[in-house]
Amino acid sequence: MSRSVRDVVLVDAVRTPFGRAGEKGIYAQTRADDLVVGAFHELLRRNPNLPTDRIDDVAVAATTQIGDQGLTLGRSAGILAGLPRTVPGQSVDRMCAGAMTAVTNLSAGIGFGAYDIAIAGGVEHMGRHPMGEGVDPNPRFVAERMVDPEALIMGKTAENLHDRFPHLTRARADEYALLSQSKTAKAYRDGVIQQDLAPIAVRSASQGWGLATVDEPPRPDTTLDGLSTLKTPFRAHGRVTAGNSAGLNDGATAAIVASEEIAREFDLAIKARLVSFAFAGVDPEVMGIGPVPSTIKALDKAGLSIKDIGLFEVNEAFAVQVLAFLDHFGIADDDPRVNPFGGAIAVGHPLASSGIRLMANLAKSFQLQPNVRYGLTTMCIGLGMGGTVIWENPNFSKAA
């Protein structure tokens, strides 16, 4: 039988407020899988027309798949969230791009015709499961000099990126970090970020039950003077600090993807239309450069150029990684098209969950800017990779 590729759309995307990892963080006594369930509940509440018995698969990503982030999260979280037992599920791991990969994997199935509707998600509870917990890297990586040992420490790869591009100074990284904090503070004042946050019940042994409704990491009082005094933990006299990097965070995200035909049949929202996606590999020692080749590949597959992109959601694992991307494509550090609501330096980066946060932000920008036709979400990925997804604005109007 012959098959034709179907258009795939993002119906909706939500996330939990992001917390600071550790004993004092808002999610210190909350399970990772319960964060996913909370995001699923909000997603289903916001989309009452979604026929849950028609969901074809659930894919949930986590970088550290042990403990309450194990047990095939797509299946276990789906059951816990009350989805019909007939809905299958799976787990995904592409480190920081886990949720992004969950979306692209499911979208590929939808485009092929294997699925009609699916739910993607991602979670990372870095307070319970620090990055790399329980892993056992093969000794050949170092013994056979396949990669530099620093490739396994993300902060050191960011320092390496500073080395490769010495014009990307610490001062420039700090200025970018301050801009991220400022944009996030404005987005909160304007009530933009809150619209896609799923309130999460949290428990404290000393204070009882509470409700998480806002992100914990942002520091709206950040100043350049304050950033300049921070230590460089990955290298003496280095350039990477806690202020110009994303922190260690807890949080979850969730999204609905569907064929456009099915979305219209059930009167579901259409917030973005998938155009293309690509992943690329780079030297693990400079993993932060990954979004450059993945974006080049995605643009080529779409038949577009960087000039066609009107909005950019770039994950801010490290300021230097974003600056390297912007420099390559000739985009100014303060270009208003880039992360208009701020980014991970301010709100946090719970690893595998972040890809869907980028998509939620882009969908909101699409709604607010109908004059923009194309946008992209992109991120660097541990062990030397990059991922990029290009989206079309369903609200686009030349007259806007």
Report the candidate in 168, 379, 382 with the shortest Cα–Cα distance to residue 294: 379
- Annotation says 349 is catalytic: yes
Catalytically annotated residue among 41, 129, 162, 349: 349
- Annotation says 96 is catalytic: yes
> CA–CA distance from 189 to each of 122, 137, 194 (Å)?
27, 44, 10
Catalytically annotated residue among 41, 96, 129, 162: 96
- Annotation says 125 is catalytic: no
Q: Which of the residues are catalytic?
A: 96, 349, 380
